[in-house]
């Protein structure tokens, strides 16, 4: 039996940002589906979600109790849901939920799977076997990992995430400029330094103990959702736990679906998500990728008077100059054509982005013509 736990009190009013992509789908949005993850996934329609974030059991295969040097016992993850009879049993389980995930995912959607060395090599190989196309593996470098108390190995200080598309040709979402902004104007790398989930962020049960042994930090989901979804996109988390995915999705204006078996986790997750307030529209805005911005032809700037015919363009170092013609083409040293073609020809390069190559003098300073394009876009 499926039990659905609605989390938002007024779903109708909480959906102002729903994109057309999610409209009209027979999807239980912003709700926790109670039950076995494979059984619940089987009920969801094909090609219906934009992203899947999966934090499956790690199959830790722990031995006896581990003691700290001062004598206390380490509170290990020894729950039944993390136990499998064999690697083969773990593989079977993984194959099954990955098959459902692949069915549910839109063709241009992506899947994230997180794990440790105990299980991530099984997951990675089975993802590839299921024809998923790995886009990156990401290392979550823990700023404050648990030390190796026995001094027998290297401190296990990271976990691994796999980011995959459904196939090589998929046109997946990657908000390159938002990630670059998040990383001080440098490309975001495949290694992420983030603290583990602790302090007030860590969900507690009624007794004040940690509610879930492997709660993920919100900063991790924040980066993933910001990088690989658009506002209004639907994110499915088949191993919902205490609902980090739901809380961050709500905060960032994304829709979510959680699947979870354990009532104790569901109770914590529902309360937590209800308390996670969505950001307002302006705070949620991120840097727009030029690829996804509406196209503006250079000629349009000429037509609209922002760049009058006859304007002289130069490159940043004033090595070359060109003059703008009435139809938006430019002319330099006997060559005429688009800002891109002429830029490429002058440099002897195979290609050239004329928007950043050509400059105009505004207020005594050289500005790339791209600035004018941005102004034009902002005025729309």
Partner DNA sequence: GCTTGATATGAATCTCCAC
Partner DNA sequence: AGTGGAGATTCATATCAAG
Q: Which of residues 220-239 bind its own copies (CB under 8 A)?
A: 222-223, 226-227
Nearer to its own copies, 12 or 334 (CB): 334
Nearer to its own copies, 115 or 238 (CB): 115
Site for DNA in 173-232 (CB under 7 A): 176-177, 180, 185-187, 195-200, 202, 210, 213-215
Residue 306 contacts DNA per CB under 7 A: no
Residue 264 contacts DNA per CB under 7 A: no
Q: Work out the number of other CB atoms within 10 angstroms of the CB of residue 75.
A: 10
Residue 60 contacts its own copies per CB under 8 A: no
By the 8 A CB rule, do 241 and 185 touch? no
Nearer to DNA, 21 or 210 (CB): 210
217: Cβ contacts below 8 Å, ≥ 6 apart: 194, 195, 196, 197, 201, 244
Residue 101 contacts DNA per CB under 7 A: no
Integer Cα distance of 51 and 165 in angstroms: 10
Integer Cα distance of 292 and 185 in angstroms: 19
Rounded to the nearest 5 degrees, what angle is found at the Cα of 112, between the Cα atoms of 103 and 108? Answer: 50
Per-residue x/- marks for its own copies, 63-102, CB under 8 A? ----x--xx---------------x---------------
Residue 312 contacts its own copies per CB under 8 A: no
Residue 375 contacts DNA per CB under 7 A: no
Tell which residue, 26, 219, 236, has the closest CA to residue 110: 236
Residue 367 contacts DNA per CB under 7 A: no
State the number of binding residues for DNA (CB under 7 A): 81
Per-residue x/- marks for its own copies, 268-307, CB under 8 A? -----------xx-xxxxxx------xx-xxxx-xxxx--
Choose the contact partner of 210 out of DNA, its own copies, none; CB within 5 to 8 A by kind: DNA
332-355: b (≥16 Cβ within 10 Å) or e: beeebbbbbbbbbbbeeeeebebb
Choose the contact partner of 74 out of its own copies, DNA, none; CB within 5 to 8 A by kind: DNA
Site for its own copies in 19-48 (CB under 8 A): none
Site for DNA in 45-74 (CB under 7 A): 55-70, 72, 74
Residue 319 contacts its own copies per CB under 8 A: no
Burial class of residue 191 in the structure, from the number of CB atoms within 10 Å of its CB (0-12 exposed, 13-18 middle, 19+ buried) = exposed
| CA torsion angle 289 292 296 298 (round to 10) | 50
Shortest distance, position 116 Cβ to its own copies, whole Å: 8
Q: Work out the number of other CB atoms within 10 angstroms of the CB of residue 189.
A: 12
Residue 20 contacts DNA per CB under 7 A: no
Site for its own copies in 181-200 (CB under 8 A): 181-191, 193-195
Integer Cα distance of 259 and 241 in angstroms: 8
Shortest distance, position 12 Cβ to DNA, whole Å: 32
Choose the contact partner of 77 out of DNA, its own copies, none; CB within 5 to 8 A by kind: DNA
Tell which residue, 355, 332, 350, has the closest CA to residue 342: 332
Q: Taking the mean position of all CA atoms in its chain, how far away is CA 142? A: 19
Integer Cα distance of 79 and 62 in angstroms: 11
């Amino acid at each position: 039996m499926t039990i659905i736990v609605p989390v938002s009190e007024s779903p109708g009013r909480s959906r102002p940002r729903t994109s057309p992509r999610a409209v009209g789908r027979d999807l239980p949005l912003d709700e926790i589906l109670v039950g076995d993850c494979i059984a619940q996934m089987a009920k969801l329609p094909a090609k219906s979600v934009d992203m899947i974030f999966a934090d499956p059991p790690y199959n830790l295969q722990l031995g006896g109790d581990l003691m700290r040097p001062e004598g206390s016992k380490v509170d290990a993850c020894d729950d039944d849901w993390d136990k499998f009879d064999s690697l083969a049993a773990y593989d079977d389980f993984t194959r099954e939920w990955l098959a459902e995930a692949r069915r549910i995912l839109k063709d241009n959607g992506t899947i994230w799977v997180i794990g440790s060395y105990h299980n991530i090599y099984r997951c990675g190989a089975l993802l590839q076997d299921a024809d998923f196309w790995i886009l990156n593996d990401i290392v979550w470098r823990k700023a404050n990992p648990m030390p190796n108390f026995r001094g027998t190995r290297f401190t296990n200080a990271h976990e691994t995430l796999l980011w995959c598309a459904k196939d090589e040709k998929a046109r997946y979402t990657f908000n390159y400029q938002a990630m670059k902004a998040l990383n001080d104007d440098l490309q975001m790398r495949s290694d992420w330094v983030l603290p583990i989930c602790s302090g007030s962020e860590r969900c507690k049960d009624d007794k004040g103990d940690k509610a879930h042994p492997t709660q993920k930090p919100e900063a991790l989901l924040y980066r993933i959702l910001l990088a690989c979804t658009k506002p209004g996109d639907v994110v499915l988390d088949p191993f919902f736990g205490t609902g980090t995915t739901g809380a961050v999705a709500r905060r960032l204006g994304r829709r979510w679906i959680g699947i979870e078996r354990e009532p104790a986790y569901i109770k914590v997750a529902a309360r937590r998500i209800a308390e996670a307030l969505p950001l307002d529209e302006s705070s949620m805005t991120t840097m727009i990728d030029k690829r996804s911005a509406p196209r503006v032809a250079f000629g349009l700037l000429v037509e609209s008077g922002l760049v009058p015919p006859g304007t002289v363009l130069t490159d940043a170092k004033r090595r070359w100059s060109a003059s703008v013609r009435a139809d938006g083409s430019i002319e330099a040293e006997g060559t005429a054509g688009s800002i891109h073609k002429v830029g490429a020809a002058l440099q002897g390069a195979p290609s050239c982005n004329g928007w950043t190559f050509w400059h105009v003098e505004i207020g005594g300073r050289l500005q790339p013509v791209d600035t004018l394009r941005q102004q034009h876009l902002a005025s729309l």
